Amino acid sequence: MLTNEVGQASGDYSFTGGKHFLLTLVTCGIWSYIWSYQVGKQVAEAQRQRGHIVSDNSILYLVINFFGLSIVTYALVQSDVNRLAKY
């Protein structure tokens, strides 16, 4: 659902959770690194579209995910999405 919400917020309706899940399974988890970078770019685009200060955290999400802390990446992305929804 988080991926779907980010895709809707940025206007990219091809950025879906089902596709993310399937590609993660097919690539044996490698896709999660690509996803963590892409979701940062999508959140930055959604911020730009709404006139917010853009914070492109895609590299941060990638590094955090690389160290095996993907749950922290999900929490940070959710926090960014919540800030988008707040305003």
Chunked in runs of 10, what are the mean pLDDT values of the chain (87 residues)?
90 90 93 94 93 92 94 94 84
Number of independent structural domains in the chain? 1
Domain that includes residue 32, residue range: 2-86
Give pTM, 2 decimals.
0.87
**What is the structure's pLDDT at 32?**
92
Rounded-to-integer distance, Cα 67 and Cα 84, Å: 27
DSSP 23-69: HHHHTTTTHHHHHHHHHHHHHHHHHHHHTPPP---HHHHHHHHHTT-
